[in-house]
Structure formats: C-alpha cells, structure tokens
A = this chain, B = another copy of it.
Amino acid sequence: MNDLFKKNLELTKKRLRESVKFDTLLVQAINNIDELNKATNLLAKRLREWFELYNPEFSKDVPDNEKFAELVTRKQDKKEKGSMGAELPENDLRQMRSLAAELNNLYKLKENETSYVEELMQKNCPNMEKVAGALIGAKLIEIAGSLERLAKMAASTVQMLGAEKALFRHIKTGAKAPKYGVIFAHPFISEAKIDRGKRARALADKISVAAKVDFFKGEFAADRLLLELKKKFGG
C-alpha cells in the first residue's frame, strides 16, 4: 500500500467512526424496544395458552401480561379447588415457570432500554425530552432518520410522522385524513376529549421548535413552550 492510499483509508475509517452520533444509538435503542415488544407479546401469548391447560381461571383473572408472567414464576402449585385445569407433574410446571421467568427478564430488559433512551434524550435533546416526552421524541427522531432531519422538517410534517399509511390511504382512496402520527400517544392529545386535531397541530409546532433548539444547541426553551401550550388550551 502506498502512503496516500493508507492515509485515505485511515481518514475514511475515522469519518465512519465519527458518523456514529447519539441519534444512531437512539434509533438502535428504539428499534430494540420495538422488537422486545414483539418478542414479549409472542411469548406471553404462548405462556398463557400453556398455563391455561393447568389453571385456566388464573389466566383470566390476570389480564396484564407482565403481571401474569411474574405471578406464574412465584406461584407454587396452588390451584383453586374445582379448577377446570388438569393436574400436571412438577416437571411440566417447571417448564412453564422457566418460560415465565425468561419473560420477566425480557420485560426488565425493556425497562432498562427505556431508561437508556430517556438518558440519551435528556442529555442530547433536553427540549424535545420535556415537550414531547422521551419515547415520543425518540420515535420521531427514528422515523425522521436523525435529529438533523427532524429539526429541518415543517411542523405539519412532524404532526403526521408515523401516520404515513393512513395518509397514503387518504390520498389514494379518499378515506378520512389522519390528524396525528406518533404524537397521539402524548397525554396532551390522548387524554383530551375535544379539539384533538387542534391540539395536535399546536403540540407539533412546539415539538418542532424544541427539535430545532436541540439540534442548533440553543438556549433551553421547553418550559416556555409548554407554558404557551397551557395558556392556549388551559389545564
């Protein structure tokens, strides 16, 4: 290898190394949480179907999957009298408990990843974190592709991020236009009884400003933004 080539290669490697910014890690973490959601849903369904052979009444009594998995791990062979479930040898029950224990670990890992996302957001996007919330903010960055791209988007685009399918359906078939994408999960919208469309537009405006402030490292503005929202809609 001649010197120029070597230098060039080093430079390219350096640039690649430096291209890993916080939002790359954030996108990974958000994707992980999504996959963990899928995996826990799959396995929770399996655990229920399996455990119902033994104790169907108990499964019905505990609709929450996380709670259910936790209780199965702890539950030692105490079954309601007159249960419709079959008596099963200890060996079979042990298998179910192993699956439940593993499921608990996966839920814990998901919590862990969620805290990690919160940390990343707090450190790198304090304004977004406060205005949109860590998970919604992270999800917006993930869909946009990077904080930079999100910061350069129009507020009306931010409002619709995550509603692409419904938007295309609207354009192609004339179905009702969506009013919001992932920001719907924000309590400011989801907990409102009326004016959800208006609230979505206002919130998207503020998130859009927050993203710009975070990207261009402006002064902390989240409190003011939230106050303006509050003034406009009360509560």
Binding site for B on A (CB under 8 A): 10, 13, 16-20, 24-25, 28-29, 31-32, 35-36, 38-39, 42-43, 46, 49-50, 53-54, 82-88, 91-92, 95, 98-99, 102, 105-106, 109, 112-113, 116, 119
Complex Cα distance A31/B43, Å? 10
Complex Cα distance A102/B28, Å? 17
How many Å from the CB of A94 to the closest CB on chain B? Answer: 9
Q: Are A92 and B42 in contact (CB under 8 A)?
A: no
For A10, list chain B residues within 8 Å (CB): 82
Q: Are A84 and B28 in contact (CB under 8 A)?
A: no
Given contacts A35-B42, A42-B39, A86-B20, contact A28 B13 (CB under 8 A): no
Complex Cα distance A36/B46, Å? 10
Q: Are A95 and B82 in contact (CB under 8 A)?
A: no
For A31, list chain B residues within 8 Å (CB): 46, 49
Q: Are B50 and A32 in contact (CB under 8 A)?
A: yes
Complex Cα distance A19/B18, Å? 62
Q: Are B88 and A20 in contact (CB under 8 A)?
A: yes
Q: Are A53 and B35 in contact (CB under 8 A)?
A: no
Q: Which 5 residue pairs of A and B lie closest in terms of their CB atoms, listed nearest first?
A: A20-B86, A39-B39, A28-B50, A17-B86, A16-B84
Q: Are A20 and B53 in contact (CB under 8 A)?
A: yes
Q: Are B112 and A98 in contact (CB under 8 A)?
A: yes
Q: Are B16 and A28 in contact (CB under 8 A)?
A: no
Q: Are B86 and A113 in contact (CB under 8 A)?
A: no
Known pairs A32-B50, A39-B42 / 9 extra A-B pairs, C-beta < 8 Å: A16-B86, A17-B86, A18-B86, A20-B85, A29-B95, A31-B49, A39-B43, A95-B112, A102-B105
